[in-house]
Amino acid sequence: MGLTCVVNPSWKTMLSLLLSAMLAVQATAAMELYVPEQPVVALHGRDVTLNCSFSHADPLNLSDVNVFWQLTDTKRSVHGYSKGRDQLADQVERFANRTSLFPAQLGLGNASLLLSRVVVADEGSYTCFVMVKDYGSAALQLQVAAPYSKPVVTLYPESNLRPGDEVALTCVAYGGYPVGDVVWQDGSGRNLTDNITTSLVANEQGLFTMTSLLTVTLEPNSTYSCRLINPLLGEEGFAFVTITGQNIAFPPVALWVTVGLSVCLLVLLIALAAVCRRKIKESCEEARREAEEAKELEEDESKTALTALRS
């Protein structure tokens, strides 16, 4: 039974042909198509090949090979090939100039699609249709990934900190996809993730800026770290901040106690100096009196001896 292929068919016409082919060969085993079972991960901005292969026992005439790629959910055309040439009249606009097959390998059973300059909007399910004399189809999943920038951790407030204060730690990374996993830990490795708030902002390309906020009660010499993990790429970004005692001011009570002790010590030193001065003065006066008494005694003895000689 022969099938007539229309040159430059619309996607509706091509689907009708494929359905007719299915009915025509329903008594024959369907063509086996092979696509990856696991999702295909593509890097944002790079090229990716959506692998689709088929087996056919008879020698192939490329003019008899029909390949059609479409979005599984919407059934819209991604790329068509028939009668030895691309058929792109009904191609979705955003795929224009970004798709191609491998015509030289079609005879070897390679119906793979090369998708260039991948963007976030390309993520989804793609169905590969192949029809020669019999027919087959298979779907695969495309996932898009983009690495995040190295996280940056900031502290607010940055100064005038006291033990017991609440401090906001912010971890920011940008330019990534999909949503990353954020893990906060303290210096002892304790998980603080339950205390975080994470927000997302997408740019015009669909890439995310992730901001994670952690609020903690400050302790002296504390370290807090932020890890951001891309679930598709398995990449980790790491940043940390250490708050040392030099950044922490004394609380008011301790400050007044220190001032009071300093004043008391000063008063004590002044009093001690005054006592020492008085003691020294008293010792000097006592020595002077003893010297005067010794001199008077010596003079009295001299007078007594002089009187005795005269007698």
Based on the domain organization, do 179 and 226 belong to the same domain? yes
Residue 204 confidence (pLDDT):
95
Q: What is the pLDDT of residue 2?
A: 37
Instruction: Choose between 101 and 296: higher pLDDT.
Output: 101
Looking at the fold, whether 177 and 232 belong to one and the same domain comes out as yes
Query: What integer is the mean pLDDT of 71-99?
Result: 95
140 shares a domain with 15? yes
Give the pLDDT band (50/70/90) at residue 19. very low
Distance between CA 236 and CA 293 in Å, rounded?
Answer: 96
- Both 96 and 22 in a single domain? yes
Residues 41 and 64 in one domain: yes
Pick the closest to residue 94 from 70, 69, 119 (CA basis). Answer: 119
pLDDT of 52 strictly over 80 = yes
Per-residue tokens: 178 = 């999909």
Query: What residues form DSSP beta bridges with 86?
Result: 81
How deeply is 249 buried, as exposed, middle or buried, from its count of CB atoms within 10 A (0-12, 13-18, 19+)? middle
Confirm if 30 and 135 have CB atoms less than 8 A apart.
yes
Structural domain total, the chain = 3
| pLDDT of res. 294 | 66
Q: Which of 91, 116, 144 is the last residue in one of the domains?
A: 144
Q: What is the pLDDT of residue 305?
A: 61
Q: Is residue 252 part of a domain?
A: no
Calculate the CA 111 to chain-centre distance: 38
Question: Could you list the residue range(s) of the whole structural domain that residue 168 is in?
Answer: 152-247
- The dihedrals phi and psi of 284, each to the nearest 5 degrees, come to -65, -40
Residue 246 reports pLDDT greater than 80: no
- The residue with greater pLDDT, 78 or 15, is 78
**The pLDDT value given to residue 298:** 67
Do 134 and 16 belong together in one domain? yes
Q: Can you read off the two tokens belonging to residue 78?
A: 């991604």
Residues 185, 266: one domain?
no
The CATH number of whichever domain residue 220 belongs to comes to 2.60.40.10
Does one domain contain both 133 and 58? yes
285: confidence class by pLDDT, cuts 50, 70, 90? confident
HEC letters along 185-244: EECCCCECHHHEEEEEEECCCCCEEEEEEEEEECCCCEEEEEEEECCCCCCEEEEEEEEC
pLDDT above 60 for 18: no
Nearest CA among 187, 183, 179 for reference residue 222: 187
The answer on pLDDT for 202 being more than 90 is yes
CB 168 within 8 A of CB 156: yes
Is 237 inside a domain boundary? yes
pLDDT tens for each residue of 126-178: 999 999 888 899 999 999 999 999 999 998 876 667 777 788 899 999 999 99
Considering only residues 294 and 143, tell me which one the structure prediction assigns the higher pLDDT: 143
pTM: 0.68
Decide if 74 is inside a domain: yes
Query: How far apart, in whole angstroms, are the C-alpha atoms of residue 267 and residue 223?
Result: 42
Same domain, yes or no, for 126 and 36? yes
Angle subtended at Cα 85 by Cα 80 and Cα 20, rounded to the nearest 5 degrees:
50
Q: Give the pair of three-digit tokens for residue 130.
A: 């192949």
Place of tokens 């005795």: 308
At 248-269, the pLDDT tens digits run 444 444 455 566 667 677 777 7
